[in-house]
Amino acid sequence: MVTRPFRVRAPGRVCFFGEHSDYLGLEVIPGAIDLCIEIVANPREDREIHVNYSDLGTHDAFSIATILEPRHRRDYLRSAFNVMARRGISPAHGWELQVSGNIPVAGGLSSSSALTVAAVMTVAQMANKQTRPAETAQAAYEAEVLEFGESGGMMDHFASAFGGLIHLDCGNNNALTRLPAMIHGVVIGDSKEKKADTVGDLRAIRSAAEEGYRLLARRIRGFDNRRTPVEKVLREAEVLPDSCRKVVITTILNRDLTRRALKLLSHPQPDPPALGELIDEHHRLLRDGLNRSTDKIERMIAAAKKAGALGCKINGSGGGGTMMAYAPDNEKEVSRAIESEGGTVHVTRVGEGASVTTMRE
């Protein structure tokens, strides 16, 4: 039985390539960053879990021996307890949990997935169980997405659980490959623009893409969004309704861009200008094909590019939140440029995956 205090840290992530591809069964290239969610756990002598969300100024308390009713649709810590309980993993006694973090909330850096990964690992540690990163990612995905009937994929959970730069094939049993590329000079600019409906955005994009895929399957023999060449898709795209044509074309172009990026990032020292060009291309697809950017983020990107960033893109679901500038050896100048357009800056790096550390009492 675990009785010593411990700390769990789970990182956020930047998706370098493949935004909006994981839930379509395509390939993605995310990297964990050194912004994280942290849960500090101290034992109690009863069977109560007390949770203090220090950044939000809120508190929660519940009994171990019950299936928990979420207080709201994004109550991921409670849902993590439920998912783990169904696996037969529950703590034997109570705990006091302190939850904090420095990942911008609703910023496209997977703060919610980091929280869910951290919560899954916290429950496992309290129950004196060890979970492998893939098991952690699966349980966290269930707690964040399946428990609430949402439309997201598994990229964020794998990125947080494994850490580093990874290639994840979401249509091939989440086959994961660690990539050797060293990426420096990642600058995050937070626009402070709150997204109206992240979950709704993902659902709308997924629905439009899947509608288009069904229509293409009637025109292209053996159509497969993972394999059909983009040239065939473009030849038949005129039959697609306006509601899905641009989304379908963009997802296929995004697929091919991610595969080109994989070749570049399979080398330890990828060419920085070439990587920057691919990042810029990815942003154009997200901005023009999926309508994911905003005027303020475009100003932040223009300023970053003028200050020397090699490539920039919006992060996550888009429609607000953060952007990323790839600016090796030019982080300070690019940071100042982003701040001049009203953005809040985080200079970060590709970092380690989620971890548990036992603390001294």
Task: Say how many CA atoms lie within 13 Å of 252 toward its Cβ.
Answer: 22
105 lies in some domain: yes
pLDDT score for 248: 97
CATH number at residue 129: 3.30.230.10
Distance CA 193, CA 126 (A): 37
221 lies in some domain: no
51 lies in some domain: yes
Q: How many domains does the chain have?
A: 1
Percent pLDDT > 90 in the chain is 86
pLDDT score for 28: 98
pLDDT score for 30: 98
Mean pLDDT of the chain: 94
Distances (CA, A) of 280 to 174, 211, 234, 314, 340: 26, 28, 22, 10, 21
216 lies in some domain: no
Q: How far is CA 177 from the centre of its chain?
A: 17
Distance CA 78, CA 84 (A): 10
* pLDDT at residue 285 tops 70: yes
Q: How confident is the model at residue 66 (pLDDT cuts 50, 70, 90)?
A: confident
Containing domain of residue 127, as a range?
Answer: 6-180+352-358
Q: What share of the chain is helix, strand, coil (3-state, %, to 5)?
A: 40, 25, 35
Q: How confident is the model at residue 73 (pLDDT cuts 50, 70, 90)?
A: confident
* pLDDT at residue 88 tops 90: yes
pLDDT score for 203: 86
- Of 69-78, 214-223, 293-302, the poorest mean pLDDT is in 69-78
More confident residue, 201 or 120: 120
Distance CA 227, CA 156 (A): 24
pLDDT score for 152: 79
Task: For residue range 95-142, list pLDDT tens digits in order.
Answer: 999 999 999 988 889 999 999 999 999 999 999 998 999 999 999 999
* pLDDT at residue 172 tops 70: yes
| pTM (predicted TM-score) | 0.94
Q: How far is CA 118 from the centre of its chain?
A: 14
Q: How confident is the model at residue 318 (pLDDT cuts 50, 70, 90)?
A: confident
Q: Once rounded to an integer, what is the mean pLDDT over residues 223-238?
A: 96
148 lies in some domain: yes
Q: How confident is the model at residue 1 (pLDDT cuts 50, 70, 90)?
A: low
pLDDT score for 359: 82
* pLDDT at residue 173 tops 70: yes
270 lies in some domain: no
* pLDDT at residue 65 tops 90: no
58 lies in some domain: yes
Task: For residue range 250-265, list pLDDT tens digits in order.
Answer: 999 999 999 999 999 9
Task: For residue range 149-158, list pLDDT tens digits in order.
Answer: 887 789 999 9
271 lies in some domain: no
- Exposure letters 223-241 (e unless 16+ CB within 10 A, then b): bebeebeeeebeebbeebe
Maximum C-alpha span of the chain: 67
Q: How confident is the model at residue 199 (pLDDT cuts 50, 70, 90)?
A: low
Q: Once rounded to an integer, what is the mean pLDDT over residues 236-243?
A: 92
pLDDT score for 149: 86
Q: How confident is the model at residue 196 (pLDDT cuts 50, 70, 90)?
A: low
